[in-house]
């Protein structure tokens, strides 16, 4: 019996969190908050379970949540969307990405992704019978070479997946890059999947630019978001996809046979949260910017070179002055000998560069960050 994904092993997030637990290391590897979801959200979930809202939601999501997502889109980007025809609630951004990729990819199609790329894109493309075409971005600024992208487009190219703010590089796409992207997708009639799960975590000076704020790009795009990142509830696996009506119709055909619908009590609780606590979202970027700055200043005396973090809750460190080990071996050493777990960057590349770069997650209590920084400063 042959494997459908012969080159694939276990996700780096499972591996590293497993090792962190085994060696009792501070886990700055897999990205998830150490702090709890807002009280109101948890109480809402309990309330709706107890009130008996425990059966299937409509496949596309409950209408009040779709409406709140449209209101958030209008507040954040000034863009009006029709909630019933364009918003689909999904079981995390992971499901939305998987379904969007299945929606656009026919056997033999090529989908352009940018390395270092989030690890769920490529397997989803391959399961659809497509090919991931990798364009590498280079440390330390992880800029996209648009001439390289243009040269990679063939008559089999179907779409491009972008991610901003970007995991793992912590870079945000700038307006000039959006302009280049726009030229290419309209010239070649490409579809776009825009992974914007960190949309509300972009720092001062490097604001998030959404595909939702550009009508021309949005007309050919699936924009994907995650409540897990926004409301510190990654374990709820709740997200959504916004796409123009015709694309949404195709997306929903597949979504209905992947999960059919997503967790009903969570949809109700998230509806109330969006309606009544919008300040949680506006406070999110300053909240994480404080943590970024704390970690950066605590690492100032270390021998790591700190790369700029413009958004997300990740920080990249270059350890080339500290160790000749490759990044996987260095991360194992960090867990076993130093007591801090990180993510090696090479796993996010098709052909890994010789960079010596690791990723730290700073969605942690201040004390945890200070303790980890102190341990890393001994190196």
Stretch that binds ligand PMP, among 70-78, 87-95, 144-152, 271-279 (CB under 6 A): 87-95
d(CA 67, CA 309): 33
The one-character DSSP state at 160 is E
Which of residues 208 and 338 has its CB atom nearest to ligand PMP in the complex?
208
Is residue 265 at the binding interface for ligand PMP, with CB under 6 A as the rule?
Answer: no
Structure tokens at 76: 């954040």
Is residue 163 at the binding interface for ligand PMP, with CB under 6 A as the rule?
Answer: yes
Q: Which does 239 bind (CB under 5 to 8 A by kind): ligand PMP, ligand GLN, none?
A: ligand PMP
Of residues 31, 78, 49, the one with CA closest to residue 267: 49
Which of residues 11 and 374 has its CB atom nearest to ligand GLN in the complex?
11
- Cis peptide upstream of residue 116 (ω within 30 degrees of 0): yes
Question: Least Å distance between CB 372 and ligand PMP?
Answer: 20
Q: Which of 167, 172, 261, 262 binds ligand PMP (CB under 6 A)?
A: 167
Site string for ligand GLN, 157-186 (x = CB under 6 A): ----------x-------------------
- Sequential DSSP letters for 234-255: GGG--EEEE--HHHHHHHHHHH
Structure tokens at 18: 């497993």
Structure tokens at 376: 């890393």
d(CA 327, CA 339): 16
Site string for ligand GLN, 23-62 (x = CB under 6 A): -------xx-------------------------------
User: At how many degrees (to 10) do helices 245-258 and 92-104 cross?
Assistant: 120
Of residues 132, 135, 163, 138, the one with CA closest to residue 149: 135
Residues binding ligand PMP: number (CB under 6 A): 14
Q: Which does 228 bind (CB under 5 to 8 A by kind): ligand PMP, ligand GLN, none?
A: ligand PMP
Question: Least Å distance between CB 7 and ligand GLN?
Answer: 18
User: 55: number of CA atoms within 13 Å, CB side?
Assistant: 1
Q: Is the C-alpha dihedral spanning 192, 198, 199, 204 positive or negative?
A: negative
Site for ligand PMP in 199-228 (CB under 6 A): 226, 228
What is the three-class DSSP state of 286?
Answer: helix
Site for ligand PMP in 45-74 (CB under 6 A): none
Question: Least Å distance between CB 306 and ligand PMP?
Answer: 20
d(CA 90, CA 170): 25
Site for ligand PMP in 25-44 (CB under 6 A): 31
Stretch that binds ligand PMP, among 38-46, 70-78, 86-94, 249-257 (CB under 6 A): 86-94
- Applying CB under 6 A, the residues found at the interface with ligand PMP are 31, 92-94, 118, 163, 167, 195, 197, 226, 228, 234, 237, 239
- Applying CB under 6 A, the residues found at the interface with ligand GLN are 11, 13, 30-31, 167
């Amino acid at each position: 019996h042959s494997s459908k994904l012969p080159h694939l092993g276990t996700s780096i997030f499972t591996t590293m969190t497993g090792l962190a637990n085994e060696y009792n290391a501070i886990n700055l590897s897999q990205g998830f908050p150490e702090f709890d979801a807002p009280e109101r959200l948890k109480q809402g979930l309990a309330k709706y379970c107890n009130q008996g809202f425990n059966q299937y939601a409509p496949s596309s999501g409950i209408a009040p949540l779709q409406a709140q997502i449209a209101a958030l889109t209008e507040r954040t980007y000034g863009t009006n969307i029709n909630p019933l025809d364009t918003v689909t609630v999904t079981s995390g951004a992971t499901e939305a990405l998987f379904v969007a990729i299945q929606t656009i990819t026919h056997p033999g199609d090529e989908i352009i992704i940018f390395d270092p790329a989030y690890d769920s894109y490529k397997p989803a493309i391959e399961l659809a019978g497509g090919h991931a075409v990798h364009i590498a971005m280079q440390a330390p600024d992880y800029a996209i070479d648009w001439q390289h992208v243009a040269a990679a487009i063939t008559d089999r190219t179907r779409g491009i997946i972008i991610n901003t703010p970007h995991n793992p590089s912590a870079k945000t796409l700038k307006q000039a890059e959006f302009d280049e992207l726009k030229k290419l997708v309209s010239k070649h009639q490409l579809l776009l999947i825009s992974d914007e799960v960190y949309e509300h975590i972009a720092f001062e000076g490097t604001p998030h630019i959404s595909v939702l704020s550009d009508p021309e790009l949005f007309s050919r795009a699936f924009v994907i978001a995650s409540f897990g990142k926004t409301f510190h509830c990654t374990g709820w696996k709740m997200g959504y996809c916004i796409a123009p009506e015709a694309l949404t119709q195709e997306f929903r055909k597949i979504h209905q046979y992947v999960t059919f619908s997503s967790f009903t009590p969570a949809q109700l609780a998230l509806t109330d949260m969006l309606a009544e606590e919008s300040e949680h979202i506006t406070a999110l970027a300053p909240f994480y910017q404080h943590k970024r700055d704390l970690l950066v200043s605590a690492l100032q005396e270390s021998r790591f070179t700190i790369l700029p973090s413009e958004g997300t809750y990740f920080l990249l460190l270059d350890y080339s002055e500290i160790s000749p080990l490759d990044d996987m071996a260095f991360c194992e050493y960090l867990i076993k000998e130093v007591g801090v777990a990180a993510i090696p960057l090479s796993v996010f590349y098709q052909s890994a560069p010789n960079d010596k770069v690791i990723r730290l997650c700073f969605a942690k209590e201040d004390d945890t960050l200070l303790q980890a920084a102190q341990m890393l400063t001994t190196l």
